Amino acid sequence: MMRQYELVERVKRYNPSTDEALLNRAYVYAMMAHGNQKRASGDLFFGHPLEVAAILTDLKLDDATIAAAVLHDTVEDTQATLEEINKSFGPQIGALVDGLTKIKRLDLVSKRAAQGENFRKLLLAVADDVRVLLVKLADRLHNMRTLGFMPPEKRKRIAEETLEIYAPLAGRMGIQEMREELEGLSFQNLDPEAYEAISRHLREVTSKSEKLVEEIEQDLKAKLLAQGIEAEVTGRQKRPYSIWRKMERKSVSFEQLSDIFGFRVIVGTNDECYRALGVVHTTWPMVPGRYKDYISTPKQNDYRSIHTTVIGPGRQRVELQIRTRDMDEIAEYGIAAHALYKEGVNDSSRLAKESRAYQWLRRTIDLLAEGDNPEEFLEHTKLELFHDQVFCFTPKGRLIALPRGATPIDFAYAVHTDVGNTAVGCKINGRMSPLLTELQNGDEVEIVRADGQTPPAAWESLVMTGKARASIRRATRAAVRRQYTGLGHQILERAFERAGRAFSDEKLKGALPRLARASMEDVLAAVGRGEMFSGDVVRAVYPDYKDERRPVPTVGVAQADGQSGESTPSGIPIRGLNSDMPIRFAPEGGAVPGDRIVGILTPGEGVTIYPIQSSALAAFDNEPDRWIDVRWDLETSDRQRFPARIKLQSINEPGSLAQIAQVIADHDGNIDNVSMKRRTQDFTDMTVDLTVWDLKHLNAIIAELRAKRVVSRVDRVNG
């Protein structure tokens, strides 16, 4: 375990003016707080925060971050309180420790929900101070290094979480060394056999290729020096997880991989980067399609470098990265490389200007924190952590970076949420294309929009980005809420009319405190969903009202042929099967135009339409708030079929089913389902589900069936 003076010495190596007193106080406080706590390995728990602090000293972070690393588990795992941390170490360190403390006593349904809620808390803290994330990543790295002491099930869960969230997050922050180690440790725990097999192959290849690697390094350095470019050239083999991903992605074996080694060329200036590229390409042939310029178009994590692959000495494929020393530092340390935090200055506005990675992180957090539940937050964050990207352009030349596999729908939402919500088509490189086309690097995308358009709910499963998925889900919820709000408004109008009381928006607003709702829309939506009964709303508006239960209403129902008994204009119109309201027909027997009908409200499901003679309606006699007056309001130019069910008794003889089916077909009926049961040796009971145009059409089919000799009885099923 690292001693107190060793921690101070590690910080003083890169920061001679470090606050030794602060580090010493943090060391002693944490040691006393953790006491004799042990880890799963049997080691003292206090060794863990010290190792986390040691990892952060390698990133050369400021005193406050190192102190927070030493203290990061005190509030969560000991009797220490956040108030004590604030008092002893100041609000800045207190805020860092608070951001790293998991939420206790989460009353959530699942572990996944708790995981999502804790991750949301972490990212919201990161939005205020990115050092929270750096400590968390170091914490996770040390936990992964000691994961072997955990039970197998927990080991698997932690490794999966690391591979899905924390390793990509380190990559997004540009901390490549940490990302690669997290990936390797996760891979080693999740698939130890594959990890060992690839590692063994790498050791064999390395032992055979040592001289070749040295030869390529020397050759490259000499070629560049001959052109006046002083360069540092180093070769390194790829990591096991990187090789495994490539084997999986390209479906190739280890022996088929030709670029196990990569070479890094470090030069002095941007100009020398491009000059070095010219030397390389004029000396050795380039592999087509393997050139990427991340200097002119940096990645979102601030990574800048030139990538190319050539056929080098010995006909060996050589993968090259050409960059300056500053670029190399950012490539290795990412957001931690910014001098801002080495100076110990906590200024998020300055960091936002300097770091594209932090800008991305803030945008993602702002987007994902808009009220989604914990599981959705976690899902959307994972979608935002894709590594591979494509770069596309708007017609005005704005660069949009998207994950590989993204579509114009993702592009539209990346431009602006309103653009995505109103998208109806797109042009890719000037040609009309489907909205589900996979975008490629360099595509110019123009989105075609239509006012009043809302995104289909099905888009949610087709998009690749968290922003698009979250926006579509919110738009869908808003549309459903508008439907329930409209339905609730009509239910309340009818309820107030039944009670003989006046209804107005102003009166309803005055009753909001009694209904415990923040807005009128909340009340209407709750009534529409069936979460609040209309009678309760009437009593909230008119406290003196006494609800006298009346017989179930059968009025207000218009006939399809234009006749109406006691119909009123207050019924909800049913416009075929494509109604804007959430409407369905009775599962037992359906309903057809010409039937007198009534609607029954089911919470969370909408309105079910029954024929007024349906026996199923008896179950709702004591629930008058669920009864909705409805009427047919069909356009004659838009004919549609409606569900009905009939029961028959037929004579059991060859050809009887064929005769019944022929009658239905001759009368333009459509059979959806037939079930048969032998009643006696001579008779068969048959149930036929069919669709018809209206009641007149159904009655004509029934009359023709009754006229058939093979049919002894026909009845319509009314549920």
Least confident range from 243-247, 376-380, 513-517: namely 376-380
Of 369 and 192, the one with more pLDDT: 192
Phi, psi of 533, rounded to the nearest 5 degrees: -85, 145
Least confident range from 164-178, 373-387, 496-510, 651-665: namely 373-387
pLDDT for 56 equals: 92
If you ran DSSP here, which 8-state letter would residue 227 be given? T
Closest listed residue to residue 98, CA positions, set 72, 128, 79, 65: 72
Of 294 and 338, the one with more pLDDT: 294
CA distance 407 to 469: 12
Q: Is the pLDDT score of 94 beyond 80?
A: yes
Q: Is 183 helix (H, G, I), strand (E, B) or coil?
A: helix
pLDDT for 387 equals: 47
The tokens for 440 are 């490629």
Contacts of 172 (CB under 8 A, 6+ apart): 300, 301, 357, 360, 361, 385
Q: Is the pLDDT score of 380 beyond 60?
A: no
- Beta bridge pairs of residue 317: 311
Contacts of 323 (CB under 8 A, 6+ apart): 264, 265, 266, 267, 273, 295, 304, 305, 306, 331
pLDDT for 99 equals: 80
Helix intervals (H) in 416-465 = 417-421
- Beta bridge pairs of residue 583: 607
Three-state SS string across 497-560, please?
HHHCCCCCHHHHHHCHHHHCCCCHHHHHHHHHHCCCCHHHHHHHHCCCCCCCCCCCCCCCCECC
Least confident range from 38-47, 110-119, 233-242, 442-451: namely 110-119
77 an active-site residue? Answer: yes
Answer whether 0.85 is exceeded by the pTM. no
Place of tokens 């042939």: 285
Place of tokens 């990161």: 126
- Work out the pLDDT band at 689, boundaries 50, 70, 90: very high
pLDDT for 585 equals: 86
Contacts of 706 (CB under 8 A, 6+ apart): 713, 714
pLDDT for 461 equals: 82
Out of 3.40.50.300, 3.40.720.10, 3.30.460.10, 3.40.640.10, select the CATH number for domain 199-337.
3.30.460.10
Closest listed residue to residue 559, CA positions, set 611, 618, 608: 611
Task: For residues 56-62, give the mean pLDDT.
Answer: 89
- For the four alpha carbons of 655, 659, 664 and 668, in that order, the dihedral sign comes to positive
If you ran DSSP here, which 8-state letter would residue 444 be given? B
CA-to-CA dists, residue 664 to 12, 248, 591, 660, 697, angstroms? 92, 56, 18, 7, 10
CA distance 312 to 675: 74
- Beta bridge pairs of residue 601: 607
Place of tokens 């490389």: 337
Q: Where are the domains of the chain?
A: 4-192, 199-337, 475-541, 549-640, 642-716
How much of the chain, in percent, has pLDDT values that exceed 90?
24
| Average pLDDT taken over every residue of the chain | 80
CA-to-CA dists, residue 621 to 549, 557, 595, 626, 627, angstroms? 10, 18, 20, 10, 9
Q: Is the pLDDT score of 412 beyond 90?
A: yes
Q: Is the pLDDT score of 475 beyond 80?
A: yes
Out of 3.40.50.300, 1.20.1080.10, 2.60.40.420, 3.30.70.260, select the CATH number for domain 642-716.
3.30.70.260
Three-state SS string across 9-53, please?
HHHHCCCCCCCHHHHHHHHHHHHHHHCCCECCCCCECCHHHHHHH
**Choice among 19, 77, 376, 460 that is catalytic:** 77
CA-to-CA dists, residue 431 to 405, 416, 428, 444, 446, angstroms? 19, 22, 5, 10, 9
**Choice among 6, 76, 505, 668 that is catalytic:** 76
Q: Is the pLDDT score of 561 beyond 60?
A: no
CA distance 677 to 686: 6
CA distance 38 to 53: 18
Phi, psi of 692, rounded to the nearest 5 degrees: -135, 170
pLDDT for 596 equals: 84
Least confident range from 333-337, 434-438, 564-568, 677-681: namely 564-568
- Work out the pLDDT band at 122, boundaries 50, 70, 90: low
pLDDT digits 0-9 by tens, 154-184: 899 899 888 887 888 888 778 888 989 999 9
Task: For residues 223-244, give the mean pLDDT.
Answer: 88
Q: Is the pLDDT score of 74 beyond 70?
A: yes
Task: For residues 366-377, give the mean pLDDT.
Answer: 53
- Work out the pLDDT band at 375, boundaries 50, 70, 90: low
The most confident of 84-93, 370-379, 497-506, by mean pLDDT: 84-93
Least confident range from 132-136, 301-305, 342-346, 381-385: namely 342-346
Task: For residues 45-50, give the mean pLDDT.
Answer: 92
Phi, psi of 87, rounded to the nearest 5 degrees: -70, -40
Q: By the 8 A CB rule, do 666 and 703 touch? A: no
Q: By the 8 A CB rule, do 329 and 337 touch? A: yes
pLDDT for 504 equals: 83
Task: For residues 200-204, give the mean pLDDT.
Answer: 85
Q: Is the pLDDT score of 373 beyond 80?
A: no
Q: Is the pLDDT score of 489 beyond 90?
A: no
How far is residue 61 CA from its own chain's centroid?
Answer: 33
- Work out the pLDDT band at 111, boundaries 50, 70, 90: low
pLDDT digits 0-9 by tens, 498-554: 788 888 888 888 888 888 788 888 888 888 776 777 788 888 888 877 655 443 333
Q: Is the pLDDT score of 414 beyond 60?
A: yes
pLDDT for 367 equals: 54
CATH topology for 4-192 is Hypothetical protein af1432 (1.10.3210)
- Work out the pLDDT band at 374, boundaries 50, 70, 90: low
Three-state SS string across 558-590, please?
ECCCCCECCCCCCCEEECCCCCCCCEEECCCCE
Least confident range from 28-37, 301-310, 604-613: namely 604-613
How many C-alpha atoms does 416 have within 13 Å on its Cβ side? 8
pLDDT for 478 equals: 83
Q: Is 609 helix (H, G, I), strand (E, B) or coil?
A: strand
pLDDT for 362 equals: 65
Terminus-to-terminus CA distance in the chain, angstroms? 76
Contacts of 608 (CB under 8 A, 6+ apart): 583, 584, 585, 586, 599, 600, 602
Q: Is the pLDDT score of 142 beyond 90?
A: yes
Q: Is the pLDDT score of 123 beyond 80?
A: no
How much of the chain, in percent, has pLDDT values that exceed 70?
81
CA distance 216 to 218: 6
Task: For residues 620-633, give the mean pLDDT.
Answer: 77
Question: Degrees (nearest 5) of the Cα angle 109, 111, 115?
Answer: 115
The most confident of 101-110, 117-126, 481-490, by mean pLDDT: 481-490
Of 457 and 346, the one with more pLDDT: 457
638 an active-site residue? Answer: no
Of 218 and 564, the one with more pLDDT: 218
CA distance 454 to 490: 23
pLDDT for 340 equals: 47
How many residues would you count in the chain? 719
